[in-house]
Amino acid sequence: MRPFVLLLTGLLALPAVADAQDIALPPAVRQRLAAQATSLAPRLVETRRDIHRHPELGFRETRTAALIAERLRSLGFDEVRERVGVTGVVAVLKGGRPGKVVAIRADMDALPIPELIDVPYKSTVPNVKHACGHDGHVSIGLGVAEVLASMRAEIPGTVVFLFQPAEEGDPDGGLSGAQRMLDAGVFAGPVPTAVFGLHVLPTLQVGTLGVNVGAAMASSNRFTITITGKKTHAAYPHTGIDPVPVAAQVVSVLQTIPSRMNNAAEPIVVSVGTINGGNRFNIIADSVTLTGTVRTLSKDGPARVRAWMERAVKGVTDASGATYTFDWPTSGNPVTFNEETLAAASLPVLADVVGGRANILSPPPQMGAEDFALYQQKMPGLFFFLGVGNTARNITAMIHTEYFDMDEAALPIGVRALSSVALDYLYRK
């Protein structure tokens, strides 16, 4: 029955007939959200371009945060807290009817990447660019705030907005924005029972959304391995212990973790990003340092890979008489995991936003990581992808590149999707 209904839906281009019964949000509210998001479109573009012209690196988003706080205050938010987790902004919108508490998160930081696209809203800061689309996320977050503020009397519950710094990590090597906001008591006010967020994705065409039930993005852990040998003259290596060939063997053995030790059905990545050691061509180095990253898609993946790595490093260094240190900070990101019940319950209203299930794609989980996962350690959360690519307009460059841009027609879709999914959660029993 269901496939038949879906087929008819596709043929007649009706919005998600099969899903309508599963949407808690009343049709009149959905129509209003759609109309408001459409009328906001020029303002969303203007806000996104303003922030795009003035990108700020992690924990330095002072202009962006001030713009956000001012806008939220002008919308009549009950509580706007600034400098939460260095530069974060937290704001609370209490609806006119009792109900649950839901959080919406948007990240604010840019990247140390030069802007190479020639557009009127080009970055004015040398070598800093909103190359991950967080300018769009802020614009969408403010759009959601505006739409929901206009209907607050009818909202059954409370919405907490989290404008988060430093999603890309601390440029100075410390904890990322989500952790710093959590440490700063981001949920000191009303405590949400679900959190929603989105990320623009140029590999998805504008008009589509990407939703994963379960793992959406990988865990990420940084590691540092230092192998210490014994320095000597390079003509007499037998009088020392050379850490360079030991490091070479360690790099090789680490490659066997994904390929030989791990179950091939569970994707993992072990990448060595830097290797440094020695100071002259004719001196055996005293030590070599390797740094890298590990990505997994399972909750127990990081611990498993860590144990394999340490065993491999210990075995190789023991065999050569060298010593090692293995540093694995606990501050990595867990898997961005969309809890199944919440994800499944959210799909019908998201399908309604984009005109049917055909426009909801389920891309393979990303091996990139997100500190949104840290909020999901506290409560169920849904992190979904907003299509911003447009091959016909040649908007195809990947995030984190000098040429990244987005089709701004996606901005009102993002506002509609995020406000609909949060309100649908509040309306749901």
Contact set with Ni ion (CB under 5 A): 132
Which one of 19, 135, 146, 167 is the catalytic residue?
Answer: 167
DSSP state of 20: G
Q: Considering beta carbons, is residue 132 or 426 the nearer one to Ni ion? A: 132
- Which residue from 217, 151, 214 is spatially nearest to 178, judged by alpha carbons? 217
Shortest CB 260 distance to Ni ion, Å: 33
Q: For 248, list phi and psi in degrees, rounded to 5.
A: -60, -45
Which residue's CB comes closest to Ni ion? Answer: 132
CB nearer to Ni ion: pick between 132 and 345: 132
CA distance to 18, 110, 203, per residue, from 114 (Å) = 46, 11, 21
- Minimum distance from CB of 55 to Ni ion (Å)? 13
Parallel/antiparallel/unpaired status of strands 97-107 and 156-164: parallel
AA identity, residue 393: R
Residue that the structure tokens 């009343």 belong to: 26
CB of 138 to Ni ion, least distance (A): 12
**CB–CB of 68/145 below 8 Å?**
no
First to last CA, the chain: 27
Taking the C-alpha atoms of residue 293 and residue 299, their distance in angstroms, rounded to an integer, is 16
* Nearest of 234, 121, 222, 116 to residue 175 by alpha carbon: 222
Nearest residue to 31 via CA among 362, 295, 422, 420: 420
Q: Is the CB of residue 227 less than 8 Å from the CB of residue 276?
A: no
CA 203 distance to own-chain centroid: 15
For residue 59, report the phi and psi dihedrals to the nearest 5 degrees.
65, 15
CB of 161: closest distance to Ni ion in angstroms? 18
Nearer to Ni ion, 201 or 415 (CB): 201
Rounded to the nearest whole angstrom, what is the least distance from the CB of residue 277 to Ni ion in the complex? 33
Per-residue exposure over 402-411, b if at least 16 CB sit within 10 Å of its own CB, e if not = ebbbbbbebb
- Please, which residue, 23 or 132, has the CB nearer to Ni ion? 132
Task: Determine the Cα–Cα distance for residues 342 and 364; give it in Å rounded to an integer.
Answer: 19
Which segments of 322-380 are extended strands (E)?
Answer: 323-327, 336-338, 360-361
How is residue 318 written in tokens?
Answer: 């023991």
Which is closer to Ni ion, CB of 147 or CB of 166?
Answer: 166
Quickly tell me which residue has 């606990």 as its tokens: 330
Cβ at position 415, least distance to Ni ion in Å = 18
Task: Report the relative pairing of strands 209-210 and 381-389 from DSSP bridges.
Answer: antiparallel
Q: Which of 289, 295, 58, 291 minimizes the C-alpha distance to 179?
A: 58
Of 19, 56, 61, 109, which residue is the catalytic one?
A: 109
Residue 90 one-letter amino acid: V
Which of 92, 132 has the CB closer to Ni ion? Answer: 132
The question of whether 109 is a catalytic residue gets the answer yes
Residue 132 or 294 having the CB closest to Ni ion: 132
Give the residue with the Cβ less far from Ni ion, 128 or 132. Answer: 132
Q: How far is the CB of 400 from Ni ion (least distance, A)?
A: 8
Looking at residue 354, the DSSP 8-state letter turns out to be T
**Least gap, CB of 106 to Ni ion (angstroms):** 11
CA distance 270 to 281: 29
Active-site residue numbers?
109, 167
